[in-house]
Chain A
Protein backbone atom coordinates (compact mmCIF):
# COMPACT_ATOMS: atom_id res chain seq x y z
CA UNK A 1 0.00 0.00 0.00
CA UNK A 2 2.73 2.39 0.96
CA UNK A 3 4.64 1.53 -2.17
CA UNK A 4 1.57 2.31 -4.19
CA UNK A 5 1.15 5.68 -2.47
CA UNK A 6 4.82 6.44 -3.01
CA UNK A 7 4.45 5.55 -6.63
CA UNK A 8 1.41 7.79 -7.01
CA UNK A 9 3.13 10.66 -5.26
CA UNK A 10 6.18 10.31 -7.44
CA UNK A 11 4.39 10.16 -10.75
CA UNK A 12 1.31 12.26 -9.99
CA UNK A 13 2.28 14.56 -12.85
CA UNK A 14 2.35 11.82 -15.39
CA UNK A 15 -0.86 10.28 -14.08
CA UNK A 16 -2.85 13.53 -14.29
CA UNK A 17 -1.38 14.09 -17.74
CA UNK A 18 -2.34 10.64 -18.99
CA UNK A 19 -5.87 10.86 -17.59
CA UNK A 20 -6.55 14.27 -19.13
CA UNK A 21 -4.93 13.28 -22.43
CA UNK A 22 -7.17 10.19 -22.43
CA UNK A 23 -10.22 12.41 -21.97
CA UNK A 24 -9.11 14.69 -24.81
CA UNK A 25 -8.41 11.86 -27.21
CA UNK A 26 -11.67 10.10 -26.40
CA UNK A 27 -13.44 13.38 -27.16
CA UNK A 28 -11.58 13.50 -30.45
CA UNK A 29 -12.32 9.94 -31.52
CA UNK A 30 -15.79 9.36 -30.11
CA UNK A 31 -17.07 12.64 -31.50
CA UNK A 32 -18.74 11.57 -34.70
CA UNK A 33 -19.56 14.45 -36.96
CA UNK A 34 -23.17 14.82 -35.90
CA UNK A 35 -22.42 15.23 -32.22
CA UNK A 36 -19.59 17.53 -33.05
CA UNK A 37 -21.93 19.84 -34.80
CA UNK A 38 -24.39 19.72 -31.91
CA UNK A 39 -21.60 20.71 -29.59
CA UNK A 40 -20.56 23.47 -31.94
CA UNK A 41 -24.11 24.70 -32.20
CA UNK A 42 -24.55 24.87 -28.45
CA UNK A 43 -21.52 27.03 -27.92
CA UNK A 44 -21.56 28.95 -31.19
CA UNK A 45 -24.49 30.88 -29.76
CA UNK A 46 -21.94 32.83 -27.73
CA UNK A 47 -19.96 34.13 -30.67
CA UNK A 48 -22.89 34.31 -33.06
CA UNK A 49 -23.75 37.94 -32.45
CA UNK A 50 -20.27 39.21 -33.23
CA UNK A 51 -19.85 36.88 -36.17
CA UNK A 52 -23.06 38.16 -37.69
CA UNK A 53 -21.88 41.76 -37.39
CA UNK A 54 -18.60 40.96 -39.13
CA UNK A 55 -20.52 39.05 -41.76
CA UNK A 56 -22.86 41.97 -42.40
CA UNK A 57 -19.95 44.30 -43.08
CA UNK A 58 -18.33 41.78 -45.38
CA UNK A 59 -21.46 41.25 -47.47
CA UNK A 60 -21.87 44.97 -47.87
CA UNK A 61 -18.41 45.21 -49.38
CA UNK A 62 -19.13 42.34 -51.78
CA UNK A 63 -22.54 43.58 -52.91
CA UNK A 64 -21.46 44.25 -56.47
CA UNK A 65 -20.27 40.71 -57.06
CA UNK A 66 -23.33 39.26 -55.37
CA UNK A 67 -25.59 41.30 -57.63
CA UNK A 68 -23.76 40.13 -60.71
CA UNK A 69 -24.05 36.49 -59.76
CA UNK A 70 -27.74 36.88 -58.89
CA UNK A 71 -28.42 38.58 -62.21
CA UNK A 72 -26.73 35.82 -64.16
CA UNK A 73 -28.62 33.20 -62.20
CA UNK A 74 -31.87 35.00 -62.95
CA UNK A 75 -31.11 34.93 -66.65
CA UNK A 76 -30.35 31.23 -66.53
CA UNK A 77 -33.59 30.56 -64.69
CA UNK A 78 -35.58 32.66 -67.12
CA UNK A 79 -34.16 30.68 -70.01
CA UNK A 80 -35.01 27.46 -68.29
CA UNK A 81 -38.50 28.63 -67.53
CA UNK A 82 -39.09 29.61 -71.11
CA UNK A 83 -38.07 26.18 -72.28
CA UNK A 84 -40.20 24.37 -69.73
CA UNK A 85 -43.32 26.37 -70.45
CA UNK A 86 -43.09 25.49 -74.09
CA UNK A 87 -42.33 21.81 -73.51
CA UNK A 88 -44.95 21.13 -70.87
CA UNK A 89 -47.62 23.12 -72.65
CA UNK A 90 -49.86 22.87 -69.63
CA UNK A 91 -52.90 25.07 -69.79
CA UNK A 92 -54.99 23.68 -66.99
CA UNK A 93 -54.01 22.06 -63.75
CA UNK A 94 -55.81 21.39 -60.52
CA UNK A 95 -55.57 24.24 -58.04
CA UNK A 96 -55.55 21.86 -55.10
CA UNK A 97 -52.41 20.15 -56.35
CA UNK A 98 -49.99 22.39 -54.52
CA UNK A 99 -46.98 20.34 -55.54
CA UNK A 100 -47.78 19.88 -59.20
CA UNK A 101 -45.34 17.05 -59.51
CA UNK A 102 -42.62 19.07 -57.86
CA UNK A 103 -39.93 16.92 -56.32
CA UNK A 104 -37.47 19.37 -54.81
CA UNK A 105 -38.12 22.45 -52.79
CA UNK A 106 -35.52 25.20 -52.59
CA UNK A 107 -35.05 27.48 -49.60
CA UNK A 108 -32.63 30.39 -49.91
CA UNK A 109 -30.22 30.91 -47.01
CA UNK A 110 -27.22 33.02 -46.16
CA UNK A 111 -23.86 31.59 -45.15
CA UNK A 112 -22.97 33.03 -41.74
CA UNK A 113 -20.00 30.86 -40.86
CA UNK A 114 -17.63 29.10 -43.22
CA UNK A 115 -14.12 27.70 -43.26
CA UNK A 116 -11.91 26.07 -45.88
CA UNK A 117 -8.66 25.56 -44.01
CA UNK A 118 -9.57 22.72 -41.66
CA UNK A 119 -9.76 19.06 -42.46
CA UNK A 120 -13.42 18.95 -41.47
CA UNK A 121 -15.10 22.11 -42.61
CA UNK A 122 -18.64 23.12 -41.72
CA UNK A 123 -20.95 25.93 -42.79
CA UNK A 124 -23.40 27.82 -40.60
CA UNK A 125 -26.57 28.78 -42.43
CA UNK A 126 -29.17 31.39 -41.52
CA UNK A 127 -32.24 29.16 -41.80
CA UNK A 128 -33.36 26.54 -39.30
CA UNK A 129 -36.20 24.32 -38.14
CA UNK A 130 -38.55 27.29 -38.28
CA UNK A 131 -38.08 27.35 -42.04
CA UNK A 132 -38.38 23.61 -42.44
CA UNK A 133 -34.67 22.82 -42.57
CA UNK A 134 -33.82 19.33 -41.41
CA UNK A 135 -30.72 17.11 -41.46
CA UNK A 136 -29.86 15.42 -44.76
CA UNK A 137 -30.99 18.26 -46.96
CA UNK A 138 -28.66 19.25 -49.78
CA UNK A 139 -26.97 22.65 -49.95
CA UNK A 140 -26.25 24.10 -53.39
CA UNK A 141 -25.63 27.46 -54.96
CA UNK A 142 -25.76 28.68 -58.52
CA UNK A 143 -22.34 27.13 -59.20
CA UNK A 144 -22.92 23.66 -57.84
CA UNK A 145 -22.90 21.45 -54.77
CA UNK A 146 -21.83 23.04 -51.48
CA UNK A 147 -22.64 20.43 -48.84
CA UNK A 148 -25.31 18.71 -46.80
CA UNK A 149 -27.20 19.83 -43.68
CA UNK A 150 -26.23 17.80 -40.60
CA UNK A 151 -28.10 19.58 -37.84
CA UNK A 152 -30.54 22.43 -37.33
CA UNK A 153 -31.73 24.54 -34.43
CA UNK A 154 -34.68 26.90 -34.45
CA UNK A 155 -33.08 29.68 -36.48
CA UNK A 156 -29.81 28.23 -37.74
CA UNK A 157 -28.47 25.09 -39.28
CA UNK A 158 -25.05 23.53 -39.67
CA UNK A 159 -24.01 21.95 -42.95
CA UNK A 160 -21.09 19.68 -43.65
CA UNK A 161 -19.11 21.33 -46.41
CA UNK A 162 -18.05 19.43 -49.52
CA UNK A 163 -14.57 20.24 -48.15
CA UNK A 164 -14.84 17.71 -45.33
CA UNK A 165 -13.01 14.41 -45.09
CA UNK A 166 -16.26 12.68 -44.07
CA UNK A 167 -18.18 13.91 -47.09
CA UNK A 168 -19.16 11.33 -49.74
CA UNK A 169 -21.08 12.06 -52.90
CA UNK A 170 -22.07 9.98 -55.86
CA UNK A 171 -21.09 11.82 -59.05
CA UNK A 172 -20.93 11.00 -62.73
CA UNK A 173 -19.25 12.09 -65.92
CA UNK A 174 -21.84 13.97 -67.92
CA UNK A 175 -20.67 12.85 -71.35
CA UNK A 176 -20.92 9.10 -70.80
CA UNK A 177 -22.84 8.62 -67.56
CA UNK A 178 -20.28 6.54 -65.65
CA UNK A 179 -20.56 7.25 -61.94
CA UNK A 180 -18.05 7.13 -59.11
CA UNK A 181 -17.51 8.37 -55.61
CA UNK A 182 -16.50 11.95 -54.92
CA UNK A 183 -14.34 12.84 -51.92
CA UNK A 184 -12.09 15.63 -50.72
CA UNK A 185 -8.48 14.88 -49.90
CA UNK A 186 -8.04 17.67 -47.41
CA UNK A 187 -5.42 19.52 -49.42
CA UNK A 188 -6.77 22.19 -51.70
CA UNK A 189 -10.11 23.92 -51.40
CA UNK A 190 -10.47 24.14 -55.17
CA UNK A 191 -10.03 20.47 -56.03
CA UNK A 192 -11.80 17.20 -55.18
CA UNK A 193 -11.18 13.60 -56.23
CA UNK A 194 -13.49 11.33 -58.22
CA UNK A 195 -12.62 7.65 -57.82
CA UNK A 196 -14.07 4.29 -58.85
CA UNK A 197 -14.24 5.15 -62.55
CA UNK A 198 -12.98 2.05 -64.43
CA UNK A 199 -10.03 2.53 -66.76
CA UNK A 200 -11.77 1.46 -69.95
CA UNK A 201 -13.93 4.57 -69.80
CA UNK A 202 -12.83 7.48 -71.96
CA UNK A 203 -12.23 10.53 -69.80
CA UNK A 204 -10.92 13.81 -71.12
CA UNK A 205 -9.65 16.91 -69.42
CA UNK A 206 -12.43 19.46 -69.20
CA UNK A 207 -15.25 16.92 -68.98
CA UNK A 208 -18.16 18.05 -66.84
CA UNK A 209 -18.86 16.21 -63.60
CA UNK A 210 -22.39 16.34 -62.20
CA UNK A 211 -24.42 14.71 -59.44
CA UNK A 212 -26.35 11.50 -59.87
CA UNK A 213 -29.82 11.28 -58.36
CA UNK A 214 -29.07 8.05 -56.51
CA UNK A 215 -28.79 9.29 -52.97
CA UNK A 216 -32.21 10.89 -52.44
CA UNK A 217 -30.36 13.90 -51.04
CA UNK A 218 -29.00 15.70 -54.07
CA UNK A 219 -31.06 16.49 -57.17
CA UNK A 220 -29.81 14.91 -60.36
CA UNK A 221 -27.62 16.73 -62.83
CA UNK A 222 -26.22 19.54 -60.71
CA UNK A 223 -22.82 20.68 -61.93
CA UNK A 224 -19.87 20.01 -59.61
CA UNK A 225 -16.79 20.85 -61.66
CA UNK A 226 -14.60 19.90 -64.57
CA UNK A 227 -11.87 17.28 -64.91
CA UNK A 228 -8.46 18.88 -64.45
CA UNK A 229 -6.17 15.87 -64.06
CA UNK A 230 -6.39 12.12 -64.65
CA UNK A 231 -4.08 9.53 -63.15
CA UNK A 232 -4.24 5.76 -62.85
CA UNK A 233 -4.39 4.47 -59.30
CA UNK A 234 -3.86 0.76 -58.74
CA UNK A 235 -4.91 -1.58 -61.50
CA UNK A 236 -8.48 -0.88 -62.49
CA UNK A 237 -9.54 2.59 -61.61
CA UNK A 238 -8.76 6.18 -62.45
CA UNK A 239 -8.08 8.82 -59.86
CA UNK A 240 -9.62 11.91 -61.40
CA UNK A 241 -8.92 15.37 -60.00
CA UNK A 242 -11.81 17.77 -60.42
CA UNK A 243 -11.59 21.52 -60.15
CA UNK A 244 -14.71 22.86 -58.47
CA UNK A 245 -16.85 25.53 -60.07
CA UNK A 246 -18.06 26.91 -56.76
CA UNK A 247 -15.58 29.12 -54.94
CA UNK A 248 -15.83 28.03 -51.32
CA UNK A 249 -13.92 31.05 -50.11
CA UNK A 250 -16.65 33.48 -51.06
CA UNK A 251 -19.95 31.80 -50.38
CA UNK A 252 -22.79 34.19 -49.63
CA UNK A 253 -26.13 32.81 -50.71
CA UNK A 254 -27.00 29.16 -50.98
CA UNK A 255 -30.11 27.12 -51.61
CA UNK A 256 -31.13 24.38 -49.23
CA UNK A 257 -32.79 21.64 -51.20
CA UNK A 258 -35.40 19.40 -49.63
CA UNK A 259 -36.50 16.25 -51.43
CA UNK A 260 -40.26 15.97 -50.93
CA UNK A 261 -40.35 12.38 -52.06
CA UNK A 262 -37.38 11.26 -49.98
CA UNK A 263 -39.34 9.29 -47.37
CA UNK A 264 -41.18 7.43 -50.07
CA UNK A 265 -37.96 6.51 -51.87
CA UNK A 266 -36.16 5.48 -48.68
CA UNK A 267 -39.07 3.38 -47.46
CA UNK A 268 -39.16 1.49 -50.72
CA UNK A 269 -35.39 1.03 -50.73
CA UNK A 270 -35.41 -0.26 -47.16
CA UNK A 271 -38.05 -2.77 -48.06
CA UNK A 272 -35.72 -4.56 -50.45
CA UNK A 273 -32.36 -4.15 -48.77
Chain B
Protein backbone atom coordinates (compact mmCIF):
# COMPACT_ATOMS: atom_id res chain seq x y z
CA UNK B 1 0.00 0.00 0.00
CA UNK B 2 2.67 2.48 1.15
CA UNK B 3 4.84 1.18 -1.65
CA UNK B 4 2.25 1.89 -4.31
CA UNK B 5 1.50 5.36 -2.91
CA UNK B 6 5.21 6.11 -3.20
CA UNK B 7 5.36 4.71 -6.73
CA UNK B 8 2.40 6.75 -7.98
CA UNK B 9 3.74 9.80 -6.20
CA UNK B 10 6.94 9.52 -8.21
CA UNK B 11 5.02 8.95 -11.45
CA UNK B 12 2.88 12.00 -10.63
CA UNK B 13 5.85 14.30 -10.01
CA UNK B 14 7.67 13.00 -13.09
CA UNK B 15 4.69 13.57 -15.38
CA UNK B 16 3.97 17.05 -13.98
CA UNK B 17 7.60 18.03 -14.49
CA UNK B 18 7.60 16.67 -18.04
CA UNK B 19 4.39 18.51 -18.82
CA UNK B 20 5.36 21.87 -17.33
CA UNK B 21 8.98 22.02 -18.39
CA UNK B 22 8.90 20.23 -21.72
CA UNK B 23 5.49 19.78 -23.29
CA UNK B 24 4.08 23.15 -22.30
CA UNK B 25 6.94 24.70 -24.25
CA UNK B 26 6.15 22.92 -27.51
CA UNK B 27 4.64 25.67 -29.63
CA UNK B 28 4.23 23.97 -32.93
CA UNK B 29 2.09 26.43 -34.92
CA UNK B 30 -0.52 26.48 -32.16
CA UNK B 31 -1.99 23.19 -33.33
CA UNK B 32 -0.05 20.67 -31.32
CA UNK B 33 -0.17 21.00 -27.54
CA UNK B 34 0.23 17.51 -26.07
CA UNK B 35 -0.98 17.05 -22.50
CA UNK B 36 0.76 13.90 -21.38
CA UNK B 37 0.06 14.24 -17.65
CA UNK B 38 -3.26 12.49 -18.29
CA UNK B 39 -1.20 9.28 -18.28
CA UNK B 40 -1.26 9.50 -14.47
CA UNK B 41 -5.03 9.01 -14.47
CA UNK B 42 -4.66 6.09 -16.89
CA UNK B 43 -2.17 4.27 -14.69
CA UNK B 44 -3.91 4.47 -11.31
CA UNK B 45 -4.85 0.98 -10.09
CA UNK B 46 -8.32 -0.09 -11.14
CA UNK B 47 -9.18 -0.80 -7.53
CA UNK B 48 -8.93 2.93 -6.73
CA UNK B 49 -12.28 3.84 -5.13
CA UNK B 50 -14.10 6.64 -6.88
CA UNK B 51 -14.21 8.89 -3.80
CA UNK B 52 -10.41 8.95 -4.10
CA UNK B 53 -10.12 8.87 -7.89
CA UNK B 54 -12.21 12.02 -8.40
CA UNK B 55 -10.33 14.32 -5.99
CA UNK B 56 -7.02 12.96 -7.28
CA UNK B 57 -7.92 13.76 -10.88
CA UNK B 58 -9.22 17.17 -9.83
CA UNK B 59 -5.98 17.98 -8.00
CA UNK B 60 -3.85 16.72 -10.89
CA UNK B 61 -5.63 19.07 -13.25
CA UNK B 62 -5.43 21.91 -10.77
CA UNK B 63 -1.66 21.45 -10.43
CA UNK B 64 -1.24 21.81 -14.19
CA UNK B 65 -3.59 24.80 -14.09
CA UNK B 66 -1.35 26.51 -11.58
CA UNK B 67 1.69 26.10 -13.73
CA UNK B 68 0.09 27.11 -17.00
CA UNK B 69 -2.05 29.94 -15.64
CA UNK B 70 -5.44 28.69 -16.80
CA UNK B 71 -7.58 28.19 -13.69
CA UNK B 72 -10.17 25.45 -13.96
CA UNK B 73 -9.60 24.34 -17.54
CA UNK B 74 -7.32 21.37 -16.85
CA UNK B 75 -9.06 20.63 -13.56
CA UNK B 76 -12.46 20.15 -15.16
CA UNK B 77 -11.12 18.17 -18.14
CA UNK B 78 -9.06 15.83 -15.96
CA UNK B 79 -11.97 15.43 -13.56
CA UNK B 80 -14.20 14.32 -16.42
CA UNK B 81 -11.55 11.84 -17.54
CA UNK B 82 -11.36 10.48 -13.98
CA UNK B 83 -15.14 10.28 -13.74
CA UNK B 84 -15.58 8.35 -16.98
CA UNK B 85 -12.64 6.03 -16.32
CA UNK B 86 -14.58 3.34 -14.36
CA UNK B 87 -17.24 3.23 -17.11
CA UNK B 88 -14.62 2.95 -19.85
CA UNK B 89 -12.88 0.19 -17.90
CA UNK B 90 -16.17 -1.69 -17.56
CA UNK B 91 -16.91 -1.19 -21.25
CA UNK B 92 -13.63 -2.64 -22.50
CA UNK B 93 -13.09 -5.21 -19.72
CA UNK B 94 -11.16 -8.32 -20.83
CA UNK B 95 -13.11 -11.55 -20.88
CA UNK B 96 -11.96 -12.79 -17.48
CA UNK B 97 -12.11 -9.39 -15.79
CA UNK B 98 -9.32 -7.43 -14.14
CA UNK B 99 -6.94 -9.21 -11.81
CA UNK B 100 -6.94 -7.52 -8.43
CA UNK B 101 -3.17 -7.42 -8.03
CA UNK B 102 -2.08 -6.21 -11.44
CA UNK B 103 -1.52 -2.75 -12.89
CA UNK B 104 -3.51 -1.30 -15.76
CA UNK B 105 -0.57 -1.76 -18.09
CA UNK B 106 0.23 -3.01 -21.55
CA UNK B 107 2.15 -5.86 -20.02
CA UNK B 108 -0.88 -7.21 -18.18
CA UNK B 109 -3.66 -6.76 -20.73
CA UNK B 110 -1.98 -6.48 -24.12
CA UNK B 111 -1.29 -3.76 -26.66
CA UNK B 112 -4.73 -3.65 -28.22
CA UNK B 113 -6.56 -3.26 -24.93
CA UNK B 114 -4.16 -0.54 -23.77
CA UNK B 115 -4.44 1.36 -27.05
CA UNK B 116 -8.25 1.45 -26.92
CA UNK B 117 -8.20 2.48 -23.28
CA UNK B 118 -5.69 5.29 -23.93
CA UNK B 119 -7.46 6.59 -27.04
CA UNK B 120 -10.86 6.83 -25.31
CA UNK B 121 -9.60 8.58 -22.16
CA UNK B 122 -7.24 10.94 -24.01
CA UNK B 123 -9.97 11.94 -26.46
CA UNK B 124 -12.47 12.65 -23.66
CA UNK B 125 -9.87 14.72 -21.85
CA UNK B 126 -8.59 16.66 -24.89
CA UNK B 127 -12.02 17.40 -26.35
CA UNK B 128 -13.30 19.01 -23.16
CA UNK B 129 -9.97 20.73 -22.57
CA UNK B 130 -9.64 22.42 -25.95
CA UNK B 131 -13.28 23.41 -26.26
CA UNK B 132 -13.27 24.87 -22.74
CA UNK B 133 -10.12 26.81 -23.51
CA UNK B 134 -11.46 28.25 -26.76
CA UNK B 135 -15.02 28.55 -25.45
CA UNK B 136 -16.58 29.49 -28.76
CA UNK B 137 -18.33 27.43 -31.38
CA UNK B 138 -17.14 29.75 -34.12
CA UNK B 139 -13.90 27.84 -34.60
CA UNK B 140 -15.47 24.42 -34.20
CA UNK B 141 -13.56 22.56 -36.89
CA UNK B 142 -10.29 24.30 -36.26
CA UNK B 143 -10.49 23.28 -32.62
CA UNK B 144 -11.37 19.76 -33.68
CA UNK B 145 -8.18 19.58 -35.74
CA UNK B 146 -6.20 20.82 -32.75
CA UNK B 147 -7.84 18.15 -30.58
CA UNK B 148 -7.02 15.38 -33.04
CA UNK B 149 -3.42 16.41 -33.70
CA UNK B 150 -2.66 16.96 -30.02
CA UNK B 151 -4.32 13.66 -29.10
CA UNK B 152 -2.16 11.81 -31.61
CA UNK B 153 0.95 13.25 -29.98
CA UNK B 154 -0.25 12.53 -26.46
CA UNK B 155 -1.24 8.96 -27.32
CA UNK B 156 2.08 8.34 -29.07
CA UNK B 157 3.98 9.57 -26.04
CA UNK B 158 1.95 7.44 -23.64
CA UNK B 159 2.42 4.33 -25.79
CA UNK B 160 6.17 4.92 -26.03
CA UNK B 161 6.44 5.43 -22.27
CA UNK B 162 4.42 2.26 -21.75
CA UNK B 163 6.65 0.29 -24.12
CA UNK B 164 9.63 1.49 -22.14
CA UNK B 165 8.03 0.35 -18.90
CA UNK B 166 7.20 -2.98 -20.47
CA UNK B 167 10.74 -3.40 -21.76
CA UNK B 168 12.28 -3.09 -18.34
Which residues on A are within 8 Å of B, measured CB to CB? 12-13, 16-17, 20-21, 23-29, 31, 36-37, 39-40, 43-44, 46-47, 50, 54, 115-120, 122, 186-189, 249
Contacts and interface: CB of A to CB of B under 8 A. Distances in A.
A25 B73 CA distance: 8
A20 B71 contact: no
Given A21-B76, A24-B76, A117-B30, A16 B71 contact: no
Given A13-B50, A20-B55, A118 B75 contact: no
Contacts, number: 87
A259 to B, nearest CB: 27
Contacts of B50: 12-13, 16
Contacts of A47: 20-21, 67
Interface string B118-144: 000000000000001111100100100
Nearest to A14: B83
Contact of B72 (A26, A46, A186): A26
11 contacts: A17-B83, A20-B58, A24-B61, A24-B62, A43-B67, A47-B21, A47-B67, A54-B25, A117-B27, A119-B135, A189-B30
B54 interface: yes
Interface of B: 20-21, 25, 27, 30, 33, 50-51, 54-55, 58, 61-62, 65-73, 75-76, 79-80, 83, 86, 132-136, 139, 142
A116 B27 contact: yes
